[in-house]
Structure 1
C-alpha cells in the first residue's frame, strides 16, 4: 500500500465545447478527476456553469486563456485587445513558436501588457460570477504565464490576492504525474499504463492533467496541423479516468484523491 500519496486529477478545457463540458463532468462524477478548469472566452462557458452548479463537490479553476488553437472554431478576448488578436479579432493559435508549427504566435507579436492585464481581469471577473465556488487560477497552453513573461505572473498573483483565489500550484512546482505516453491513443493501453504507474508514485502530492471529452461529431471536427486525432486522444483520456480498473488500483494502494481546496 502506498503511504501518504495524494493525487490531484485535473480535467482541462471545459467551456471550449459541449464534448469537453460533458467529459470533464463525467470524469469527476464517475471517475477520479476532482478539479475542472474552465475557459472563460469560449462559447460553452455558460453551459459549463449550469452543469457544475449542480455539483458543489467539484473544484473549479478559472483557466486563463490567450490563444485559440483549433482550426474549425475560434474564440475572442472578453476585453478590447487589438494587440492580442488576428485580423478577424480572434486570439492567435499559439502563445509561443513551436517546432514544426508555423502558425502565428503571441510571442511573435508586439503585444501590450496592459491589454493582457485587462483581459485577465475580465476573465477572472466573469469566472467568479459564473463559478462563485472557483478556488484557483490556472493557465491554458502553458505551465504558467509567468513562464511566458514574469510580469504576467505578477498580474496573475495580484488577481489571485484580490479575488481570494489560489495561484495554480502546478505552476509552482507540484510534481506532474505522467502515467501514459501521448501515443497510442488507445484506451486499454492507457488504462494499463496508468495502473502500472500508480504503483511508482512517491510519497507526497502529485498532479495529473489531461483533457477528457465525450465522443461526438463535434469533437471529431476539432484539431489543427499536427494534432488531427483529437477525438481519439480525448475520448481515450475520459475512458481512462472513469476506468473501474484504475479506480480499484487507487483504492488498493490507498492513494488519496484531492482537489485544489485540499492543498
Structure 2
C-alpha cells in the first residue's frame, strides 16, 4: 500500500498576545492547522485556555520557553531562576548569538541546568493543569532544546514520560515543510507558493510551522532588531492559511492533515 502524504500544520506562540490567541484559533477553525503551541510564561495563557478548552478537537502543545525576544513585550520564568534572566528579571532575548544582533543570549551567561529543568517542569505542570487537550511539548526559538544542550533532551524526555506527553517529533527528525521565504510578507504570494510546493511534497510525514495572528490588536507592539514588521508577517500568515485555494489544493492532492495526536 503506498505511503500517505501527511502534513502537520502547527500554529505557534499562543499565550504571548491576544492577537496570537485569536490568530491561532482562526488558523484551526477556518484553516488547516490542527495543533497550537502555547507559551506558558506569557500573560495571555488563561485567555488561551478559555478559547481552546472549549474546542477539544484542537491539539495543544506546551511550547517550552526560555527567551523573551520582543523589545516592548516581556515575560518572566514561572520559577525562581536567577541564572536565566536579565537584570530586570525577564528571560533574555536570545538562546544563542545571532550575526548582526547585539542583544544578550543565554548561552553566554552562567546558566544552570537545574534552573532550566525546574522551569520546564513548572511550565509543563501548568500546561497540563490548564489545557485539557495538551498532548505534546515543543521548543520556542529552537528546533529542540537538546540542540542547546543534549542534557536538556534527556530531561525533557523524562518529563514527557512522567506527564504522558509526546516529545516533539520535529525535534527528532520529522522534516519541516518550508514552502515560501520570509519575504515578501504578502498573503497571495505565500498562498500561491504553498499551493505550488504541495505538488512536490513527497509521501511521508511533514510539519509546517508558522505564527498566525489577527490585525488591529497587540501584535503591533511586537518587534525587535531585524524583525520590526511582526504584525504584517503574522497577519499575512493567517490570511495565507485561511485562503480557500490552500484548502482546495490540500484536498486535491489527497494530503492528510494531522495533529501531534496522530503521531
Q: Following the alignment from structure 1 to structure 2, what is the Cα–Cα distance between the partners of residues 4 and 111?
A: 44
**Counterpart in 2 of 1:204?**
204
**Counterpart in 2 of 1:174?**
174
**Counterpart in 1 of 2:63?**
63
Q: Once the two structures are superposed, what CA deviation does each residue of 1:34-55 show, in whole Å capped at 9, x if it has no partner?
A: 0000000000001000000111
Task: Give the CA deviation at 1:216.
Answer: 1.4
Within a 5 Å distance, the mapping from 1:47-196 to structure 2 comes to: 47-196=47-196
Contact 1:83–1:110 under 8 Å retained in 2: yes
Is the aligned partner of 1:223 residue 2:201? no
- Segments of structure 1 that go 5 or more residues without pairing to the other structure are none
Q: Following the alignment from structure 1 to structure 2, what is the Cα–Cα distance between the partners of residues 246 and 53?
A: 27
Q: Following the alignment from structure 1 to structure 2, what is the Cα–Cα distance between the partners of residues 230 and 3?
A: 38
Contact 1:3–1:254 under 8 Å retained in 2: no
**Considering only aligned residues, what root-mean-square deviation do their CA atoms show, in Å?**
0.9
**Counterpart in 2 of 1:7?**
7
User: 4+ runs of 1 displaced by more than 6 Å?
Assistant: none
SS state of the match for residue 47, structure 1? helix
Give the TM-score of the pair, scaled to structure 2: 0.98
SS state of the match for residue 135, structure 1? strand
Aligned residues: 262
Contact 2:58–2:133 under 8 Å retained in 1: no
Q: Following the alignment from structure 1 to structure 2, what is the Cα–Cα distance between the partners of residues 27 and 196?
A: 20
Give the TM-score of the pair, scaled to structure 1: 0.98
**Counterpart in 2 of 1:250?**
250
- Segments of structure 2 that go 5 or more residues without pairing to the other structure are none
